[in-house]
Structure 1
Amino acid sequence: MPTQPAGQAPPSDPAPHRHRRMAESFGVDAERYDRTRPSYPDAMVERIAATAPGPGVLDVGCGTGTAARQFQAAGCTVLGVEPDARMADFARRSGVEVEVAAFEAWDPAGRTFDAVVAGTAWHWVDPVEGAAKAARVLRPGGRLALFWHVFDLPPALAGAFTEAYRQVMPDSPFTIDPRAPRSAMDGYRPLFDKAADGVREVGGFDEPERWRFDWERSYTRDEWLDQLPTSGALTTLPPDGLARVLEGAGAAVDAMGGVFTMSYATVVVTAARTGEAGPA
C-alpha cells in the first residue's frame, strides 16, 4: 500500500502527519483504493492476533477496511477509526464498524481493546500522541502493531516514475530527493525508528520489536497503472499531471515486456502493553 512515490523511500519530511490534506486525500477514489491496494500477509495477521490477549481490535486509519476484514476473518472483533468519511463509508459497506475521526482526537468513550493496529497509516499519526492514546485504550498485555509494505521497484520503472513526478510537482514536500537511499528498506528505517521511539517515550509498553514478512506479487501494466493513482504522492495531482506520470510509468512497464514482479517486505513495529501505569 504505497503512500509515497512508488518504489522510493518515504518522504524525508520529519512530520508527515502534519500534511493533513494528503493524509485525508485517499478517499477520492475509495473503490479503486480497495480494489488495487495489496492486502497483508496472513501470517502477519495470525501472529498479531495470537499474541494479543483477546479478540478486540482497534484499527487506526482503517481506510477501506483491508486489514480490518483480514482480522475479522481471523476471528477478531474490529472497530475502525478513519479520518476520511469516504473511506469509512466504503469500509462500513464491506462489513466493518468505523468511527470517523483523526486518532489523536478520537474519543474511546471508556472502551478498551486487546490490540491496536495500523496498516500503512501510522505515519499520518503523531507518533507520541498516537502511542499515548494506544496505551490508554489497550488492556494489560494488549498489543500495539504498526505495519507497512516496503518494496523496491525495478530500477528502470523507478527512474521513469521519479522523473515524471519531479517534472509535475517539483515543489511538493513529498518530491523524491535524488540523494535518498537506493534501498526502500533503508528509507523506511527512520519511519520505523520514529514509531518505536514514540512508544518508548510514552512508557507503558515493553521494548518494541520488528517483525518482517517477505512475499512477492506480479503486476501487469494495467494493474500497476490502476494502483498508482491511490498513492499519497498522486492523490492530490490535477488530472493532466496524473496523466503525465502514468504515461511515463506505463512506457517503462511496456519496455519491460508489460509485466514485472515486485518483492515486498511487510514490516511490523510492535510492543505489548505492560501492567505499569501509562500516560494519563
Structure 2
Amino acid sequence: MPTLPPGRSPRSAQALHENRRTAESFGSDAERYDRARPHYPRPMVDRIVASGAGPDVLDVGCGTGIVARQFAAVGCRVLGVDVDARMADLARRRGLDVEVASFEAWDPAGRTFGAVVSGQAWHWLDPVAGAARAAEALRPRGLLALFWNAGQPLPEVAQAFVEVYRRVLPGSLAARQGTVSAVDGYAPLCTKAADGIRETGAFAEPEQWRYDWDQSYTRDEWLDQLPTQGAFTRLPQAQLQEVLAGVGAAIDAVGGDFTMHYATLVVAATRTGST
C-alpha cells in the first residue's frame, strides 16, 4: 500500500487553515453547493467502511451532507460536524444529524466512532489539532480518511479557463492553476495532512489511495458549480459575472460541454492503541 513520505509543504498549504473567512464562505449559497458539488467514488466509500471499526461515522466539515449521505446510503450511522450553521441547517433538512462547531474545539463527549472522514475540507483545519481530535473520537483500529477531488479537464479546456482567470483575476490562485496538474496541486494538502497525523503519535503510518473517474458537464452545470469553489466564493458580483461569462464562452467554443477527469486522493491512517 503506498504511503506518503514525510515532507514540508509550501506556506500556502500551511496557511489555509488560518483563512477562516474563506473556510466559512461556502454557506453563502448552501443550496447551490449541495446541488452542484461532485460526489465521491463508491469504491472509496466501501473501502473506508470495510477498513473502519464499526458503522458509526463522523463526517468532519460535513457541509450540506454530500459525504454523509453517501455513507448513510450504505448503512452507516453518520454524525456531521461543521463550522457553518447555514450548511448544517441544510444538511439537517436532508435528514442528517449535525453539530455546529469548529472541529478543533468540538467535544466528542465520550462518543467514539469506527471512522472519521472529511471530504474536501481538512485543509481548512489545523492539521495537528484536527488529527488529535480525530484520534480522541476514534475507536482502536478505527480509520481516519481524508479525501479531495482533484479535477482536471482536457488541456485545451483547462488553458481556456486559465486565460479567463488571468484576464479577470490576475495573480489569483485560480489564475495560477494552469501551471501545475490538479493532482500536483493537491499534493501539498495531502502531505500536510499526513504530517499532522504523524505528529499526534496516535496512528499507524498514513497511506495514500487514489480513485480515477470522469464526469461530464454541460455549460450550465459547470457555471452552477464554479461559484461554490473557494477561489470564487468571496468575489464581488461583477467580477464573478465576468468570470462566468468568460468560462461559459470557453465551454461554448468546445461544443457546449466537456469532461472533467477526477482523481480522488485519500490520506488514510488507522488509529493505534487499545483505548
Q: Could you tell me the TM-score, scaled by structure 1's length? A: 0.90
- Runs of 4 or more, structure 1, over 2 Å off, are 10-14, 153-172, 174-181
Aligned counterpart, 1:88 = 88
Q: Supply the distance in 1 between the matched residues of 2:202 and 2:95 (Cα, whole angstroms).
A: 33
| 1:184, distance to aligned residue in structure 2 (A) | 1.2
Q: Supply the distance in 2 between the matched residues of 1:239 and 1:189 (Cα, whole angstroms).
A: 31
The alignment's C-alpha RMSD in Å is: 1.9
Q: Supply the distance in 1 between the matched residues of 2:34 and 2:243 (Cα, whole angstroms).
A: 21
Q: Is the CA contact 1:229–1:242 (under 8 Å) kept in the aligned structure 2?
A: yes
- For structure 1, the 5+ residue unaligned runs are 1-9
Identify if the C-alpha distance between structure 1 residues 179 and 89 changes in structure 2 by more than 3 Å, giving closer, same or farther.
Answer: closer
Q: Is the CA contact 2:153–2:258 (under 8 Å) kept in the aligned structure 1?
A: no
Aligned counterpart, 1:202 = 200
Q: How does 1:214-229 map to 2 (within 5 A)?
A: 214-229=212-227
Structure with greater helix share of residues: 2
Aligned counterpart, 2:136 = 136
Identify if the C-alpha distance between structure 1 residues 273 and 178 changes in structure 2 by more than 3 Å, giving closer, same or farther.
Answer: closer
| 1:82, distance to aligned residue in structure 2 (A) | 0.4
How many equivalent pairs are there?
266
Deviations 1:112-157 (A, max 9, x none): 1111100000010111110111111111001000001012123333
Q: Give 2:229's match in structure 1, choosing from 219, 228, 231.
A: 231
- For structure 2, the 5+ residue unaligned runs are 1-9
**Which stretch of the first structure deviates more once superposed, 119-128 or 148-157?**
148-157
Q: How does 1:77-116 map to 2 (within 5 A)?
A: 77-116=77-116
Q: State the secondary structure of the residue aligned to 2:258.
A: strand
Q: Give 1:251's match in structure 2, choosing from 240, 245, 249.
A: 249
Output the amino acid matched with 1:255: A
Aligned counterpart, 2:6 = none
Aligned counterpart, 1:21 = 21
Identify if the C-alpha distance between structure 1 residues 252 and 118 changes in structure 2 by more than 3 Å, giving closer, same or farther.
Answer: same
Q: Could you tell me the TM-score, scaled by structure 2's length? A: 0.92
Q: State the secondary structure of the residue aligned to 2:146.
A: strand
Q: Is the CA contact 2:163–2:175 (under 8 Å) kept in the aligned structure 1?
A: no
| 1:175, distance to aligned residue in structure 2 (A) | 5.0
Query: Identity rate of aligned residues, in percent?
Result: 65
